[in-house]
């Protein structure tokens, strides 16, 4: 697990919002009032077809119609978001982002560089400690886990765990969704296989994962093709190891032709997480905080889940029965996610080096 991880307000209100957390309904009301006074929220890098963001943004607009949402460069990457903060430190205009949604590694580095400010949402306690900065500078928002996307027309007995993939019945069936010498998704799959065999986090899991794929390749089960929903449907890669949100979206795209199962393995459940943060130079700091309150409310979290990205509060939502049944029916069982582990940045770096440098010599499969 990772451990990290417009208008001028009155002085009294300003002092209130300097607090890093909303502590009561009354202070939330005050935050809403201040955000409405600012009248705008500037986001960046939020494509509407990613994690259900289109509907999430629409939900925020409907709840707070007085706040205009200014969307910058929806197709930007995490690095672009951080650079936008740096480039607009002294700019309070529409090109200065209030909030960012970035890959895990960008949270700690943005904090170190003084580019983000602390804020703890009212649901802070239900965000796992391993998925947030203790001081509130950044916090996990959603994640995916490695899963098995299975063509049910060709695979009659669906594998339930990594070890099952070694069975003779899966000859010429199992593929990765990338080249493990370069693709993070594929690297994490090798790492997950290592954890499933009981290896310790970090380098050990990377090396053990390589041994697993060596055995998978030697047995004739591994297909050295970069798998996609199309190759799965065509029968070239009947079992595809990829992030669950990609697998679920692919299942919907195939629309039953062929029928697809998405399985979260029983062990080696590895998650990849994104994080939220507020710019230290946000022109609309109260609107930014209100946006965070919305995202981390049950409504906002379920919005991401509708886009097949598991919200960071998923276990909390599931425990209290807050997730609509029709949505749960589209997902792997909630209990499957309880064992999810979030590799630290250090563990990711160490295992990546072990996997990328030794794939050719240990596994010997040229994935392309």
Question: In this predicted model, what pLDDT tens digit does every residue of 98-112 receive, in sequence order?
Answer: 999 988 888 999 999
Q: Sign of the CA dihedral 11, 15, 16, 20?
A: positive
| Confidence band, pLDDT 50/70/90 cuts, at residue 185 | confident
Q: In this predicted model, which residue has the larger pLDDT, 12 or 161?
A: 161
User: Residue 3: what pLDDT?
Assistant: 34
Distance CA 175, CA 29 (A): 51
User: Residue 259: what pLDDT?
Assistant: 97
Domains of the chain: 11-139+275-328 (3.40.190.10), 144-271+333-362 (3.40.190.10)
- Residue 198, pLDDT above cutoff 80: yes
User: Residue 8: what pLDDT?
Assistant: 32
Q: Compute the half-sphere exposure of residue 121: CA atoms within 13 Å on the CB side of its CA.
A: 28
Verdict on whether the full-model pTM lies above 0.85: no
User: Residue 62: what pLDDT?
Assistant: 98
In the predicted model, what is the mean pLDDT of the chain?
A: 90
- Residue 228, pLDDT above cutoff 80: yes
- The percentage of residues in the chain with a pLDDT greater than 90, rounded to a whole number, is 75
Beta strand 99-103 with 271-279 is antiparallel
Rounded to an integer, the average pLDDT of 66-84 is: 93
SS3 per residue for the chain:
CCCCCCCCCCHHHHHHHCCCECCCHHHHHHHHHHHHHHCEEEEECCCCCCCCHHHHHHHHHHHCCCCEEEEECCCCCHHHHHHHHHHCCCCCCCCCCCEEEEECCHHHHHHHCCCEECCECCCHHHCCHHHECCCCCCEEEEEEEEEEEEECCCCCCCCCCHHHHHCHHHCCCEEECCCCCCCHHHHHHHHHHHHHCCCCCCHHHHHHHHHHHHHHHHCCCECCCCCCHHHHHHCCCCEEEEEHHHHHHHHHHHCCCCCEEEECCCCCCEEEEEEEEEECCCCCHHHHHHHHHHHCCHHHHHHHHHCCCEECCHHHHHHCCCCCHHHHCCCCCHHHHCCCECCCHHHHHHHHHHHHHHHHHHCCCCCC
Q: In this predicted model, which residue has the larger pLDDT, 345 or 31?
A: 31
| Confidence band, pLDDT 50/70/90 cuts, at residue 6 | very low
| Confidence band, pLDDT 50/70/90 cuts, at residue 182 | confident
Q: Among 138-147, 227-236, 340-349, 358-367, which stretch is predicted with the lowest mean pLDDT?
A: 340-349
């Amino acid at each position: 697990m990772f451990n990290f991880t417009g208008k001028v307000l009155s002085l009294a209100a300003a002092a209130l919002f300097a607090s890093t957390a909303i502590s009561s309904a009354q202070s939330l009301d005050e935050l809403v009032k201040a955000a409405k006074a600012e009248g705008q929220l500037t986001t960046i890098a939020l494509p509407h077809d990613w994690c259900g963001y289109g509907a999430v943004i629409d939900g925020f607009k409907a709840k707070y119609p007085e706040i205009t949402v200014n969307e910058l460069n929806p197709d930007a990457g995490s690095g672009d978001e951080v650079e936008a903060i740096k480039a607009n430190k002294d700019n309070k205009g529409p090109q200065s982002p209030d909030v960012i949604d970035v890959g895990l590694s960008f949270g700690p580095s943005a904090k170190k560089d003084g580019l983000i400010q602390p804020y703890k949402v009212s649901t802070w306690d239900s965000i796992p400690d391993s998925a947030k900065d203790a001081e509130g500078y950044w916090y996990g928002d959603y994640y995916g886990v490695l899963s098995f996307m299975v063509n049910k027309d060709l695979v009659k007995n669906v594998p339930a765990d990594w070890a099952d993939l070694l069975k003779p019945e899966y000859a010429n069936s199992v593929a990765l969704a990338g080249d493990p010498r370069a693709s993070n998704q594929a690297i994490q799959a090798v790492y997950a296989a290592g954890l499933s065999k009981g290896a310790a986090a970090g380098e050990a899991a990377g090396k053990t994962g390589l041994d697993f794929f060596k055995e998978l390749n030697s047995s004739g089960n591994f297909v050295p093709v970069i798998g996609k929903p199309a190759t799965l449907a065509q029968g070239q890669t009947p079992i595809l190891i990829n992030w669950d949100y990609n697998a679920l979206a692919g299942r919907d795209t195939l629309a039953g032709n062929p029928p697809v199962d998405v399985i979260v393995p029983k062990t080696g459940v590895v998650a990849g997480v994104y994080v939220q943060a507020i710019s230290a130079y946000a022109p609309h700091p109260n609107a930014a905080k209100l946006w965070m309150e919305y995202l981390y409310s049950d409504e906002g979290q379920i919005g991401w889940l509708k886009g097949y990205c598991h919200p960071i509060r998923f276990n909390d939502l599931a425990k209290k029965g807050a997730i609509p049944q029709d949505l749960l029916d589209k997902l792997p069982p909630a209990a499957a996610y309880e064992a999810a582990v979030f590799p630290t940045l250090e563990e990711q770096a160490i295992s990546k080096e072990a996997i990328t440098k030794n794939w050719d010599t240990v596994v010997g499969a040229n994935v392309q």
